[in-house]
Structure 1
Amino acid sequence: MIFVTVGSQKFQFNRLLKEIDKLVEEKRITEEVFAQTGYSDYEPENYKYKNFLDRDEFSDVMSRCDKVITHGGTGAIIGAVKQGKKVIAVPRLKDFGEHVDDHQLQIIGEFEKMNFIKSVNEIEQLDSVISNIINCEFNQYESNTQFIIESIENFVNIQNFN
């Protein structure tokens, strides 16, 4: 199953939702698709969707999917990568009224450089990336939370000796 999540910021992402709808209609995507469409006003005709999911609904859909198509939000990307999902990220772009600037290009670019995801900067590439992502091997996400905690503890201990 493919889970499409476009976040909860007050911006539409109709361009992505329409492309997926077209690919499903053309049978270029044949697996089940479910989307969390947020503030988008496009209503998909060929796959199930809900504007917003509560935490439990989101977790349930995420646990059942093997692929995630998302915007360039760090939370959405990291959440899916942590769960070992194949992630395709499409940046929201200012020119389409999807965000205030194009910072998601840089975010997605960095995640791709680290080999955590595949990016789709041109919506016409989505079909090809979906078709080929099953063959991609990604790096496993490793949390650095413990390192950060130890660094803070070391800093505090050094300050206590001064």
Structure 2
Amino acid sequence: MIFVTVGTHEQPFNRLVQKVDDLKKNGIIQEDVIIQTGFSTYKPQYCQWSKLIPYQQMVKNVEDARIVITHGGPASFIMPLQIGKTPIVVPRQHQFNEHVNDHQVEFARNVAKRMGTIIPVEDIETLGDIIMNYDQIIAGMGHGMKSNNKKFNEELEHIVEKLSINQ
């Protein structure tokens, strides 16, 4: 399953919603698709959709999805990262009247460059290829946010061993 979320910003994100619907219609996407359309005015014909989805259902959709596609709002792509997913991030762009400026474009570029944990898509025409090659793309990159638990436990173990030796 592919889960798409455009967040709750009041400007429509028809460009993403319609592109995903077209990819499903044309058979590029074979699996089920659920789209949270927000304030988009385009109504998908080939995908399941809801304008808004309760948070717990959003979490479940992200957990169940093979691929998560989000807009460039930080909350929308940080949650999939925390669940261990590598999201495809399509930032809203000012030139398409999707946001008041291009801060989502800049933020997605910076996260991709510094963290390497998201797949940014500025050119919507490349989305189909990225979806088709998703598994190969993520094979060579970080998968979600790294947990510090292992490092913490190793360092704690080292401290405990030093304390044991000194007694």
Q: TM-score category by the smaller chain?
A: 0.7 to 0.9
TM-align CA RMSD: 1.3
The residue aligned with 1:142 is 146
TM-score between the two structures when normalised by the length of structure 1:
0.84
Cα offset, 1:142, TM superposition: 3.3
Where does the alignment leave 5 or more consecutive residues of structure 2 unmatched? 149-167
Superposed, 1:45-56 pairs within 5 Å as: 45-56=45-56
Is 1:27–2:15 an aligned residue pair?
Answer: no
Q: Structure 1 residue 131: deviation in Å?
A: 1.0
1:104 lines up with 2:104 in the alignment: yes
Structure 1 residue 75 corresponds to structure 2 residue 79: no
Cα separation, 1, equivalents of 2:129 and 2:32: 17
- Give the corresponding residue for 2:129: 128
User: Does structure 2 retain, via aligned residues, the 8 Å contact 1:86–1:134?
Assistant: no
Cα deviation for residue 86 of structure 1 reads 2.8
Q: Cα deviations across residues 91-135 of structure 1 (Å, max 9, x unaligned)?
A: 101111100001111111122112101111111010111111111
Instruction: Give the counterpart letter for 1:50 in structure 2.
Output: S
Matched residue count:
144
What is the CA–CA distance in structure 1 between the aligned matches of 2:14 and 2:86, rounded to whole Å? 22
Query: Which structure 1 residue ranges, 5 or more long, are not aligned?
Result: 145-162
SS in 1 for 2:133: helix
Matches of 2:56 and 2:93, distance apart in 1: 29
C-alpha separation in 2, matches of 1:142 and 1:126: 26
Q: Secondary structure at the match of 1:86?
A: coil
Look up the match of 2:116.
115
2:37 corresponds to which letter in structure 1? T
Kindly indicate whether residue 78 of structure 2 is the aligned counterpart of residue 86 of structure 1.
Answer: no
* Mapped contact 1:66–1:86 kept (Cα < 8 A): no
1:28 maps to amino acid = I
Bigger-Rg structure (1/2): 2
Quote the residue 1:154 is aligned against.
Answer: none
